[in-house]
Amino acid sequence: MKDKMTIILFSGEMDKAIAAFTLATTAAASGMEVAIFFTFWGLNILKKSKFSITRSQNMLQKMFNFMSTSSLPITKLNMLGLGPWMMKKLMKKSKMASLEELMSLAKELKVKYIACTTSCGVLGLAKENLIDEVDEFAGASTYLNEAKDSKINLFI
């Protein structure tokens, strides 16, 4: 049986997402079985890039989504608006993989994406609002079952 790792990706910031996917892809490449459980702001990473506000959403969910979509911020330096721009530039210069590249690598390596159903409910997100690469929609008990058998469990 393969060694397992789980990551709860709660944060929607680009720097934390990159850390999560770097760990996930490195683990999967070395033969581990990896599952990422996307919850709260982490779901932003799974949104289709041009997320069209759906009819079924109520006014509050529309506002919420409007405020939380678009490009991912990074934890620091946001005040100046320089953060994400600078980070992308630096990553390119040092030939570090971008989040997009890491995510496509993750899928090649069969990293499992689980979207938290409870958070989707709160945010008014339906299946069709998220990218097709999501493997499963499930709640905390599914996560706990995965995590119980895993050697490494992280909350990011």
Q: Which residues bind a second copy (CB under 8 A)?
A: 3, 5, 8, 10-12, 15-16, 19, 22-23, 26-27, 30, 32, 39-41, 58, 60-61, 63-64, 67-68, 75-77, 80, 82, 86-87, 89-91, 93-94, 96, 118, 121-124, 139-141, 143-144, 147-148, 151-156
| Cβ 81 to a second copy shortest distance, Å | 12
* Secondary structure (DSSP) of the chain: ---EEEEEE----HHHHHHHHHHHHHHHHTT-EEEEEE-GGGGGGGB-TT-PPPTTS-HHHHHHHHHH-SSPP-SSSGGGT-HHHHHHHHHHHTTPPPHHHHHHHHHHTTPEEEEEHHHHHHHT--GGGB-TT--EEE-HHHHHHHHHT-SEEEE-
Q: How far is the CB of 73 from a second copy (least distance, A)?
A: 9
* Contacts with 147 (C-beta within 8 Å, 6 or more apart), sequence order: 6, 153
Q: Compare residues 131 and 140 and give the one whose CB is closer to a second copy.
A: 140
Between residues 85 and 133, which has the closer beta carbon with respect to a second copy? Answer: 85
Give CA–CA dist 83/153, Å, rounded: 28
Measured from the CB atom, the residue of 132 and 152 that comes closer to a second copy is: 152
For residue 7, the minimal CB distance to a second copy (Å) is: 8
**Smallest distance, a second copy to C-beta of residue 106, A:** 13
Quick one: 63 or 136, whose CB is closer to a second copy?
A: 63
Q: Which is nearer to a second copy, 91 or 134 (CB)?
A: 91
